[in-house]
Amino acid sequence: DVVLTQTPSILSATIGQSVSISCRSSQSLLDSDGNTYLYWFLQRPGQSPQRLIYLVSNLGSGVPNRFSGSGSGTDFTLKISGVEAEDLGVYYCMQATHAPYTFGAGTKLELK
Amino acid sequence: QVTLKESGPGILQPSQTLSLTCSFSGFSLSTSGICVSWIRQPSGKGLEWLATICWEDSKGYNPSLKNRLTISKDTSNNQAFLKITSVDTADTAIYYCARSFTIAAIFDYWGQGVMVTVSS
């Protein structure tokens, strides 16, 4: 199975600070069809996960544009440009290029 | 709007079969490109994809659960189902169902989740 390694595991930030989360894959996530099936999700405390980013860098419907995704191959980054209180929770990357789909272990974003 | 809601037995004993139902509205599992998946999360831990069923009845399973999983659907009643046989305490988790509209728009809507406890 593809292993996704997220760093850091815990991220402390102040409101308004810009932060980044790394997701590194044990295999290239570039599919033979030319797409890279890498996604980012946020799970707020007590809630279901919600999708933020699809196909590396595409913002999901209703997701604020302070979120952005980048990367290729095996290295990917989620950036939040100006953390807001509603952004606190656990962030997961996920890949769907290789079966079975796998998730990273998560990065907890908390207030400093 | 799109909604999904999971239901299950709440608690069951080791070796029993877990049956879960995902009832949804706002889309149809007969529409081209639509899939419904099951994902679980043990308390305080990460997410694990279990299985997916799509509009044309294709299915995918996580091999880590070997042959214990069966996913199915009832298109007429807007429901998807998951069965897990021979459960043990390691299957205790919150179980979510989620919609995908093509693999690009994967897991764009999630249910609220249902807690399942396996205990003797």
Residues whose CB falls within 8 Å of the CB of residue B74, separated by 6 or more in sequence, listed in order: B80, B81
Distance from CA of B77 to the nearest CA of A (A): 24
Chain A residues in contact with chain B using a Cβ-Cβ cutoff of 8 Å: 1, 35, 37, 39, 41, 48-51, 54-55, 60-61, 92, 94, 96, 99-106
Which residues of chain A neighbour B61 with C-beta distances below 8 Å? 100
Contact B107 A49 (CB under 8 A): yes
Q: So what's the pLDDT on residue B103?
A: 77
Quick one: which of B87, A105, A55 has its CA closest to B95? Answer: B87
d(CA B41, CA A73): 27
Q: Which of A39, A51, A58, A97 has the highest number of chain B CBs within 10 A, making it the mutation to test binding with B?
A: A51
Of A35, A37, A101, the CB nearest to B49: A101
pLDDT, tens digit (0-9, with 9 covering 90-100), for B46-77: 999 999 999 999 999 999 997 999 999 999 99
Report how far apart, in Å, the C-alpha atoms of B63 and of each of A101, B50, B66, B68, B83 are: 11, 9, 5, 9, 15
User: A92 pLDDT exceeds 90?
Assistant: yes
Contact by Cβ (8 Å): B47, A49: yes
Distance from CA of B61 to the nearest CA of A (A): 7
pLDDT grade, residue B79 (50/70/90)? very high
Q: Which residue from A minimizes the CA distance to B64?
A: A100
Contact by Cβ (8 Å): A67, A52: yes
Contact B108 A60 (CB under 8 A): yes
Q: Which residue from B minimizes the CA distance to A48?
A: B112
pLDDT grade, residue B114 (50/70/90)? very high
Q: So what's the pLDDT on residue A66?
A: 97
Quick one: which of A104, A64, A100, A99 has its CA closest to A84? Answer: A64
d(CA A96, CA A1): 11
Q: So what's the pLDDT on residue B104?
A: 79
Q: So what's the pLDDT on residue B54?
A: 96
Contact A54 B64 (CB under 8 A): no
Contact A94 B111 (CB under 8 A): no
Q: What's the token pair of residue B1?
A: 């709007």
Of A49, A100, A106, the CB nearest to B110: A49
pLDDT grade, residue A7 (50/70/90)? very high
Contact by Cβ (8 Å): A40, A93: yes
Percent of chain A with pLDDT over 90: 98
Percent of chain A with pLDDT over 70: 100
pLDDT average, residue stretch A82-100: 97
